[in-house]
Amino acid sequence: MNLYKYASPANFYPLAGKIIPWFAIPAAVLFAVGLYVGFFVAPTDAQQGDVYRIMFIHVPAAWMGMFLYVLMAIYAGVGWAFNARLSSMMATSISVTGASFTFLSLITGAFWGKPTWGTWWVWDARMTSTLILLFLYVGFISLQASIDDPRRADRAGAVLALVGVINVPIIYYSVQWWNTLHQGATIRILNKPTIAPKMLAALLIMLAACWLYSVAVVLVRLRYIILEREQNAARFAEVIA
């Protein structure tokens, strides 16, 4: 099977249509299971009480915001370097979902911060760098929207995305590099997690749900971008109808 043929928007369009339900349906199921485990199974935290349950949406949203930015920068960079239209379209599609998750992480963080820290917002390193991430997403989306020629818009967006990727390790290590009000990482790849297994289960299920949801909505949006951008899109009209 020649996988390179799917680098063409015309060939990828029907494939994406077939893939979407395989991500959308499990995402909906996992959101339901994750919320059930998070609210009915996971115990109340000894220190924070029930307010810690915000973590089940806050942490996956924050992780997805960072992960999607790196992914967007990779796609934008590949699209720029190899003049690959589909790759640039993918970056455009990812940017909206990434911005949505970053905005959600900031909002849910504020809702968690008020009862635990006594304030909705502080200009500490983690929160400020996450706000910069949101500005980078908004900048990428605005820049692309402001340029009429899609190929020029892709190139300009790619430069911004690649320069901005430096902010992701800054967000991740901010709690180690600086003395922040935000707590340190509870889950690390190499170390044993420091939270109760039931809490961890809910967190990981919600993370999987957010990941599956992201794939589904990014692919749906990508199909619309393909339809809007491709000049010979008439041949797709029957497929979408």
Query: What x/- string results for residues 75 through 114 when contact with another protein is judged by CB under 8 A?
Result: ---------------------xx--xx-xx--xx--xx-x
* CA pseudo-torsion sign 216, 158, 142, 129: positive
CB of 228 to another protein, least distance (A): 7
C-beta separation of 228 from 89 below 8 A: no
The correct pick among 23, 58, 79, 134 for binding another protein (CB under 8 A) is: 58
Both structure tokens of 180? 């922040």
C-beta separation of 222 from 6 below 8 A: no
Q: How many CA atoms lie within 13 A of 7 on its CB side?
A: 12
Both structure tokens of 238? 């029957």
CB of 236 to another protein, least distance (A): 9
Site membership for another protein, residue 61 (CB under 8 A): yes
Site membership for another protein, residue 117 (CB under 8 A): no
Site membership for another protein, residue 221 (CB under 8 A): yes
**Integer CA distances (angstroms), 21 to 27, 34, 69, 162, in order:** 9, 19, 24, 31
Site membership for another protein, residue 123 (CB under 8 A): no
CB of 2 to another protein, least distance (A): 29
Site membership for another protein, residue 217 (CB under 8 A): yes
Nearer to another protein, 77 or 108 (CB): 108
